[in-house]
Amino acid sequence: MKIRYWLLGILVLAQMVWLSWRCYEAEAVLAAAPTIEVEAKCSSGSCYPNTCYDLADPACLGKSLWWNAESLLQKNEKEIHASVTLRPQPPEGVTGALNPFEKENREKLVALWHRGADGMWRPRIEAAGSSEDVLREGEVRTPACLVDKSCQSQDGRLEKVILCFNLFYDLKNPYNRLVYDLDPSTSRLYRDAPCPETPPIRLKIALRRGASPVVREALLGDEPLSKALRRIQKENGNRSADSQPAGEEILD
């Protein structure tokens, strides 16, 4: 009987050691992961990276991506407005270029992130394995996927194209999207407090090696989102109280 208890105790101790090691290992990976801050949108109690771009301003689309009118036009469209950018041929010297609008190419992309002067990280999207899939100084790399192409047209003329990417594409779990769920208290604050458009909400994302990216924190300006929303709510409450008309003076 005692041997059985000893074996059970050793088994429990081994499990505790294993779990402790896994926790330590996960914390070590998280601590070593490069962290970037990206602009975010919030709705229905969740925040997610804002990775939708207008094709008319293709600053994020690298030299290894190309597209022509045939790639963009829908069945009911006959021509393209001049504001919609075309890039029918890859620049000379670029190898491995592809058309991201072809179904088989949508998952063959990478995002090469660089930090702007405002501290926000922005992507340069390239064809994976192309001559442009090279990290420049200070950049970090994530797998990417073209998720959707939203087209706006009028009278048979294509006038606007919005591209939506998953720039934190998980190759092991392709249906996963990077979403940061707000706790109930912060979700209520976001719903009730008028949140300013500037500065934008930011997500601090850790790019873990060998694991999917994880959001460490949601920020508004330099403050955690929950703290900033409480401050805004308090300021608005004080402002509302100050704007109330003063009561009439009572005369003796």
User: Is residue 197 within 8 Å of 233, Cβ to Cβ?
Assistant: no
Q: What is the pLDDT of residue 24?
A: 38
What pLDDT score does 88 carry?
Answer: 83
Using left for φ > 0, alpha for ψ between -120 and 50, and beta otherwise, residue 4 falls in alpha
16, 9 Cβ separation under 8 angstroms: no
Return the pLDDT at 89.
83
**Closest to 221 (Cα-Cα) out of 200, 242, 243, 251:** 200
The whole-model pTM stands at 0.79
State residue 10's pLDDT score. 62
The pLDDT score that the predictor gives to residue 84 is 86
Check residue 5 and give its pLDDT: 59
Selection from 234, 205, 204, 237 nearest residue 220 by Cα = 204
* The predicted structure's pLDDT at residue 32: 59
Sign of CA dihedral 46, 171, 168, 158: negative
- The whole-number pLDDT of residue 219 equals 93
What's the pLDDT at 252? 34
Q: For residue 198, what pLDDT is reported? A: 74
pLDDT for res 12? 59
Averaged pLDDT, groups of 10, the chain, 252 residues long: 63 56 45 84 90 87 92 81 84 90 94 94 96 95 94 85 93 85 90 78 90 90 90 74 49 36
Q: What is the pLDDT of residue 69?
A: 87
**φ, ψ for residue 241, nearest 5 deg:** -65, -40
Kindly report, residue by residue over 53-92, the tens digit of the pLDDT.
998 877 899 999 999 888 888 777 778 887 888 888 887 8
pLDDT digits (tens, 9 = 90+) for 27-41: 444 455 789 999 999
Contacts (Cβ under 8 Å, ≥6 apart) of 171? 143
